[in-house]
Structure 1
Amino acid sequence: MRILIVNPPHTAIGSRIPDDHLPPLGLLSIAGPLIDDGHHVELLDAEFGPMSVEETVERIAASGCDLLLLGHSGSTSAHPTVAEIAQLAKLVCPGLKIIYGGVFPTYHWREILAKEPQFDVIVRGEGEETCRQLVTALDEGRALATVNGLAYRHGGKVVSTPPQVMIRDLDHYRIAWELIDFSRYSYWGGKRAVVVQFSRGCPHPCTYCGQRGFWTQWRHRNPEIFAAEIAWLHRAHGVEVFNFADENPTSSKRMWRRFLDALIAEDIDITLVGSTRADDIVRDRDQLHLYKKAGVERFLMGMEHTDQTVLSKIRKGGSTSTDREAIKLMRAHGMLSMATWVVGFEEERDRDYLRVLRLLLAYDPDQIQSLYVTPHRWTPLFADIGHRRVIQLDQRKWDYKHQVLATRHVPPWRVFLWVKAIEFIVQSRPKALLRLLTMRDPKLKHAHRWYYQMGRRVWFHELFGFLFRDRRVRNGPTVTEFWGASRDGEDALARKGAEPLASPGQPSLKAVGLGQITCSTTSSQKTSSLV
């Protein structure tokens, strides 16, 4: 079959402000198995430009595809654009089958299929095996009921099949790197870059995160195969920067050590950036020199809040003392630290923001990233704050960088001023600026300067948007009224079942040598679902 996979244009700040673009790992992960099954697959990355909805639909119509696969890594905030593209594409090509996947449709499939007739099938959970089976069923004219992990309409009703079994061998499927022009993708200030994924899921029970439900269980790739793939991407395609899609790639100290050793043995000069937990950094104090030697330049550490009571309430599992120690250890080993700070876990007052400022200054991170609490219905947090009022009705703004919930004591304009002031003060404190000016490591200096440049652009962009572009309501619906009932506890994947068979004409990766993987194939976001 002729299949077109589309990465839609996204309105989120992170997609629009930087001059760099990263390839859609999730969509490439879907494409690899389909290509190996003998289908003709093309990728349209509408993030470049970005393309307008009309131009995207024109390209879809011109492709002559039988199937259109849509998804985006920022699936909640991207959904309105995805829906508009699908609706127009259906009008232009009435016979086109449209398949939609990602985290948002995985948990909103009932509402989407009931209200948006342009979507024919929704893939729930990780999509490599589900999409293979779905496309085969469509090609052979078999009933969709034979494929697990789907939602669709049948007899005028919205129905679903049982969850697909989660993939235990993450090296079983390859990523379709051949679909992209590597020279078009960059990050970290113009360096050729890709997104990679060592693991899926997270073993920690943080209430604001949906990783446990969507991925069901933390799993990882073979460390040596993963390191070999990174080396191949560097040598064959000149990739310099590898951005980890993992929530927590360092969860297993033993597996992460194996990966570091294997990557160091490849003897390549690359940059690794990603996210981890502060307690993993402290745990690995004896091997942080290997992080640096392998190429780690920055880790984002999800500190979420500076108050120990709040950290306990959201089941973060860390501590403020561990956070401070992790930042010091990263700096001592020549790596940058980024501390995330999330606004809105509690009903803050002005004095709370002042206390946060003092504590962030005491943390002394290299970089900070402020986010707003954005409750999604598949997280435990959703049920806890379902009574709170929504002030942002535009779904495209539910991207963690816009206020979406009202706070009881501080109006939105003052919350915004506090956040912008804290960002400015922390990032422009004399100690931080002096550190930037005197930084000796040229790679770190380049990275840090690039971050400051992007930070300034985002800061002013958010200010302009808050004052002139964003629209908020005073007394909106509750979170539950806005999104519907909580889906916490609804796992997207089943834990047990038979392992999928190898693709026709493609041996299982377990059956081939490491040299074959790195030479004869391009074997394997926030993700390999159809996102």
Structure 2
Amino acid sequence: MKIVLINPPHTAIGSRIPDDHLPPLGLLSVGGPLIDDGHIVGLIDAEFGPMTIAEIVSRVAASGPDLVLIGHSGSTSAHPTARAIAEAVKHSDRAIRIVYGGVFPTYHWREVLAETEAFDILVRGEGEETMRRLAGTLTAGRPLATVPGIAYRNGDGEILATQPAQAFADLDAYRVGWELIDHRHYSYWGGKRAVVMQFSRGCPHLCNYCGQRGFWTRWRHRSPELFAREIARLYREEGVELINLADENPTSSRKAWLAFLEAMIIENVPVQIVGSTRADDIVRDADILHLYRKAGVVRWLIGMENTDEATLTLIKKGGAKATDREAIRLLRQHDILSMATWVVGFEEETLSHLLRGFRQLLSYDPDQIQALYVTPHRWTPFFRIARDRQVIETDIRKWDYKHQVLKMRHLNPIVLVACVKLIEVAVQARPKALLRILFHRDREQRHSMRWYTQMGRRVWFHEILEFLFRRRHLKDGPTLENFWGAPQDSEEESMLRPQRYVKSLDAAE
């Protein structure tokens, strides 16, 4: 079977402003097993350009595929573009079957199949094994009902879903299809040849707003030694200099993470590793942070979410302000950059909350900050808590964490965005931060901070201009539940749990 994978161009500011692009790991992860099964697979990465829909359709037509698979890591905000591409491809050739995968279609499969006939089949949950089975079933002409983990229409137009697929226990069982990309075209941090990779999937913590935890169903990790070996091969054969970990929480198991660090040190390749983790894991690993740095870890994004204790309790973050501050101090001690995420837009926030948050950020003293806006997903427990809040942004392309989408009780949007933009400037331009950018003792870290500052400055001005001239918030919008539908947290886990891990991961390492 001839299969074309499409990575839609994303409208998010973070995708359009930087000159760097990272490869679409999800599609490559599905592409590898399909190639190994004997299918002819190609990739259209429409982020470059970005491509117009007409250009994408032309590329698809030139490939002459039997099957098109569309997916994007930012699947909620990318959905309108994915739908437009599917409709255009289907209009050009109705014989092409179109498959759609990702977090958003996994949970919104009923609505997606009802709103357009362009998508023939949706993949729910992890795609590697499901797409293998689906491609094999289509090739052999067997009934779709035999494939777990999909949704589709039957011959009568009825929308159906098969039983959930089982999350696979062995993350090393399927390889990433790196041959689908030209590594020379992908970079990060100002031109460093880069890829996205996963050491683990899922997260064992119970933050009730997380849209990823349930999608992966259970925290699992790759073989530390095999993962380090793959990174080393990408450096030696493809010149990859930087690894961006897409994990929610790669350090969940100290034992597994330490084994990976030691394996990377043995490989002895000068790659840089960036990713995100929890502050309490950093504090837990205070005695081995020198190994983090020796293995190539140069920056962690730490999900602090908020500095208000009541808000942290509401979202069940499970962290503590003292731990957050100590994690940043420890990282700096080992020349590892820290990026603190700070989420705003909670219903009861006032100016005093924002001022207190600003002071707390200053006391944390992070190297970088990333301000995000509350963005509830229907399949998370937090959606049920926020179900009666009013939606002020109905364009779901803006549901990308970088735009306010929910009404606040005490602050109107112009006040909130003004405060956030001022706080970003004040934190990033404080004397301590500027001195590090100019005189950090590590040349590579100086380069990283300067690149982030330059990109952040461009994004900052773009966000201000967009807010002033391109956005129109609703004054009396629908409730969150009326906009998206009833809470779906009873379906939060998208797959059946992998049997091998049920016992071994219930016991904390």
Q: TM-score range by the shorter chain?
A: over 0.9
* Aligned counterparts, 1:157-172, within 5 A: 157-172=158-173
Counterpart amino acid of residue 49 in structure 1: G
C-alpha deviations, 1:10-51, integer Å up to 9, x for none? Answer: 101111111000000000000011001100000010000000
1:327 aligns to what?
328
Alpha-carbon distance between aligned partners in 1 of 2:303 and 2:473, rounded to the nearest angstrom? 28
Q: Where do residues 205-224 of structure 1 align in structure 2 (5 Å cutoff)?
A: 205-224=206-225
- State how far apart, in whole Å, the 2-side matches of 1:318 and 1:80 are: 35
Structure 2: which 5+ residue stretches go unaligned? Answer: 502-509
The letter for the 2-side match of 1:62 is A
Cα deviation, residue 497, structure 1: 6.2
Equivalence for 1:72: 72
Distance (Å, rounded) in 2 between the aligned partners of 1:497 and 1:245: 24
Q: Deviations over 1:395-452 (max 9, x none)?
A: 1000000010010111000000000000000000112112222211011000010010
Question: Does the 8 Å contact 1:213/1:488 carry over to 2?
Answer: no
Partner SS state of residue 11, structure 1:
coil
What does residue 99 of structure 2 align with?
Answer: 99
Whether 2:32 is the aligned partner of 1:32: answer: yes
**Cα distance in 1 between the residues matched to 2:323 and 2:269:** 32
1:82: Cα distance to partner?
0.4
Pick one of 493, 496, 499 that aligns with 1:494. Answer: 496
Which one-letter code corresponds to 1:328 in the other structure? Answer: R
Q: Are 1:58 and 2:58 matched, yes or no? A: yes
Report the more deviating stretch, 483-492 or 20-29. 483-492
**1:429 paired residue number:** 430
1:481 aligns with 2:482: yes
Q: Quick check: 2:347–2:409 contact (8 Å CA) kept in 1? A: no
Q: Would the aligned equivalents of 2:302 and 2:340 in 1 still touch at CA under 8 Å?
A: yes
Q: 2:244 maps to which residue?
A: 243
Kept after mapping to 2: 8 A contact 1:163/1:493: yes
SS for the counterpart of 1:165 is coil
Kept after mapping to 1: 8 A contact 2:347/2:407: no
**Counterparts of residues 93-242 of structure 1 (less than 5 Å):** 93-154=93-154, 155-242=156-243
Distance 1:125 1:348, change over 3 A: same
Q: Secondary structure at the match of 2:469?
A: helix
| Aligned partner of residue 108 in structure 2, secondary structure | helix
Is the contact between residue 436 and residue 446 of structure 2 (CA under 8 Å) also seen in structure 1? no
1:81 Cα offset (Å):
0.3
Measured in 2, the distance between the counterparts of 1:391 and 1:209 equals 21
Amino acid of the structure 1 residue aligned with 2:414: W
Aligned counterparts of 1:283 and 1:497: Cα–Cα separation in 2: 29
Specify the alignment match of 1:285 in structure 2: 286
Question: Please, what is the CA RMSD of the aligned residues?
Answer: 1.1
**Are 1:213 and 1:489, in contact at CA under 8 Å, matched by a contact in 2?**
no
The corresponding residue for 2:505 is none
Structure 1 equivalent of residue 315 of structure 2:
314
Map of 2:273 onto structure 1: 272
Query: In structure 2, what is the equivalent of residue 344 of structure 1?
Result: 345
* 1:276-319 CA distance string (max 9 Å, x none): 00000000000000000011110000000011221122111110
Residue identity matched to 1:37? D
Q: Which residue of 1 aligns with 2:4?
A: 4
- Which stretches of structure 1, 4 residues or more, deviate above 4 A after TM superposition? 496-499
Deviation, 1:498, is: 9.6
| 1:166-209 per-position Cα deviation (integer Å, ceiling 9, x unaligned) | 01000000110011000000001100000000000000000110
- Helix, strand or coil: the match of 1:405? coil
Asked if 1 retains the 8 angstrom alpha-carbon contact of 2:211 and 2:380, the reply is: yes
> Residue type of the partner of 1:234?
Y
**CA 1:451 to 1:496, structure 2 compared with 1: closer, same or farther past 3 Å?**
closer
- 1:525 corresponds to: none
Give the equivalent residue in structure 2 for 1:415.
416
Which residue does the alignment assign to 1:388? 389
Following the alignment from structure 1 to structure 2, what is the Cα–Cα distance between the partners of residues 10 and 496? 32
Q: Tell me the distance in 2 between the aligned counterparts of 1:211 and 1:99.
A: 21
Matched residue, 1:83: 83
Give the aligned residue type for 1:327.
I
How far apart in 2 are the matches of 1:370 and 1:315? 19
Match of 2:490, SS?
A: coil
Give structure 1 stretches of 5+ with no counterpart. 500-531
Q: Shift in Å at residue 53 of structure 1?
A: 1.2
Is the Cα contact below 8 Å between 1:310 and 1:346 reproduced in 2? Answer: no
Superposed CA deviations along residues 35-81 of structure 1, whole A, max 9, x for unmatched, are: 01100000010000000111111111121000000010000000000
Q: Deviation at 1:496?
A: 4.8
The separation in 1 between residues aligned to 2:331 and 2:205, in whole angstroms, is 22
Q: Secondary structure of the residue that 1:347 maps to in structure 2?
A: coil
The answer for the alignment partner of 2:504 in structure 1 is none
- Structure 2 CA distance for aligned equivalents of residues 3 and 291 of structure 1: 40
- Aligned equivalent of 2:360: 359
C-alpha separation between the residues in 1 aligned to 2:352 and 2:335? Answer: 35
Deviation at 1:492, TM superposition (A): 0.8
Distance change in 2, residues 1:497/1:136 (3 Å): farther
**What CA distance in whole angstroms lies between the structure 2 residues aligned with 1:234 and 1:378?**
38
2:415 aligned with 1:450, yes or no?
no
Contact 2:169 2:498 in 1 (8 A): no
| SS of residue in 2 equivalent to 1:359 | helix
**TM-aligned CA deviation for residue 211 of structure 1:** 2.4
State the alpha-carbon separation in 2 of the partners of residues 84 and 309 from structure 1.
Answer: 41
Describe the shift of the 1:279–1:496 C-alpha distance in structure 2 as closer, same or farther (beyond 3 A).
closer
